[in-house]
Chain A
Amino acid sequence: MVAASPVEREVWRLLADVPDPEIPILNVIELGVVRYVRDEQERGIAVGVSPTYTGCPATEVIQASIKARLQNAGFSTVHVDTVLAPPWTSDWLTESAREKLREYGIAPPAESVDSPRRLWSEPTVSCPRCSSKQTERVSEFASTPCKALYRCTSCLEPFEYFKCI
């Protein structure tokens, strides 16, 4: 692995200003979608970005926001590459992202995707408001592709859960 050049480090720093359009408390680095930053002589700056879900409409907004942020900072030629492999996983959310999600009212992924029991048994999802483990799934799907809908049976509040994928 080649150490990041000063230019590449500057780009990483700028990317921390680019929010996820659907969960704006997270930036694209915390979401784990930025795969590489390369200062390529002929192409200019190349940023590799992975979609969270294949059809997620936020992907295009993220790509446009990255271009806009870097161009505003004076990088005239910016390419955003879509990187599919290896596929994005919720394991790539950073630790700070998990904490921010909880504060925002979204329960972070309850376990690693490597857990073999993942899809066939229900993970215990804690309520992001009262921390109770007495919760139940209302629906596999919610307002964005990456979340499911839950309800806390202790404080009775509904909440969204960031799915393990």
Chain B
Amino acid sequence: MEATSAASDVLRRYALTIGDTSLILAQRLGEWIGHAPALEEDLALANIALDLLGQARYLLSHAAQLQGGGTEDDLAFLRDPQDFLNLSLVEQPNGDFGETIVRQFLIDAWQLELFERLQQSSEPKLAELAAKAIKETRYHFRFSSGWMVRLGDGTEESHRRVQTALDALWRFTHEMFVASPVEQEAAALGIGPDPASLAAGWASRVEEVLQEATLKRPADVAYSWHGKRGQHSEHLSRLLAEMQIMQRTYPGAQW
């Protein structure tokens, strides 16, 4: 019995780890609505955000069930920053359109690797979600790769901006492949892949596009951020302040 409840707690925290990454990125992309450079890009970012929000809802609902009380909404709107387990990369501010695209591209490539492997999860709920989500992620990756090439191999100005964004965001990618305690336990139970095993596939996807985009792969930085352990930059607090204000101010408010 105890073994079962320990495993279910690992599953709960693992679902939050990947669900929070989708949720926070969805919120960031939502900030673009009404502000993107063209209507088509506005729609694209909103659509990608919606897919990510769908993933997050599914995972947070599952986590809420496992903790035996509360709902997906409680987890999204009433948790404090240190209880969020998302990758540090996704809480980084949008910057300009190029910076948003670079962030998206790095995450899309990672999600492709993750969902590919997660389809073999010992946990049917995660395997099912991965099989569903990977189909959408392929579209996201095609969109973000297309823009990487257009901007990287575009004008002098667009190239400069995207390279600058890549240089600035690269240091957050190391975290994708360093297991947090939750991910270590999940890997031991067959719930999720060992993050380190995603690195090679991710790098080859990314490098192929960077080459076509005439962009330089920045040097790796050994320092790892720890968003997955609940250690966040101040950017997450500000993001949550906006995302959570309605439910914090008027608990239980509905449309």
Chain A residues close to B by CB (< 8 Å): 51, 53-57, 84-89, 119, 138-143, 145, 149, 163, 165
Contact = CB atoms under 8 A, between A and B. Distances in A.
A149 B133 CA distance: 21
Contact of B51 (A54, A84, A85): A54
Contacts of B55: 54-55
Interface stretch (B76-84, B138-146, B212-220, B236-244): B138-146
Contacts of A56: 50, 54
B57 A55 contact: yes
Interface string B54-65: 110110000000
Contacts of B248: none
25 contacts: A53-B50, A54-B51, A54-B57, A55-B50, A55-B55, A55-B57, A56-B50, A84-B128, A84-B132, A85-B127, A85-B132, A89-B135, A139-B40, A140-B142, A141-B43, A141-B44, A141-B46, A141-B47, A141-B48, A141-B139, A142-B47, A143-B43, A145-B47, A145-B51, A165-B135
B52 interface: yes
Contact residues of A: prevailing secondary structure: loop
A165 B135 CA distance: 6
B209 interface: no
Interface centre among B47, B58, B133 (most CB of A within 10 A): B47
B142 A57 contact: no
Given A119-B138, A138-B40, A165-B139, A51 B54 contact: yes
A100 B146 CA distance: 32
Contacts of A89: 135
Contacts of A142: 43, 47
A140 B143 contact: yes
Nearest to A165: B135
Contact residues of B: prevailing secondary structure: helix
B129 interface: yes
B54 A55 contact: yes
Contacts of A149: 40, 43
Interface centre among B41, B43, B52, B55 (most CB of A within 10 A): B43
A143 B40 CA distance: 9
Contacts of B44: 139-141
A53 B138 contact: no
A163 B54 contact: no
Contacts of B58: 54, 84
B191 interface: no
A53 B136 contact: yes
B53 interface: yes
Contact of B52 (A55, A57, A86, A165): A55
Contacts of A86: 131
A57 B131 contact: no
A40 to B, nearest CB: 21
A88 B131 CA distance: 10
Nearest to B132: A87
A112 B179 CA distance: 38
Given A140-B44, A140-B139, A149-B40, A55 B131 contact: no
B142 A119 contact: yes
Interface centre among A56, A86, A140 (most CB of B within 10 A): A140
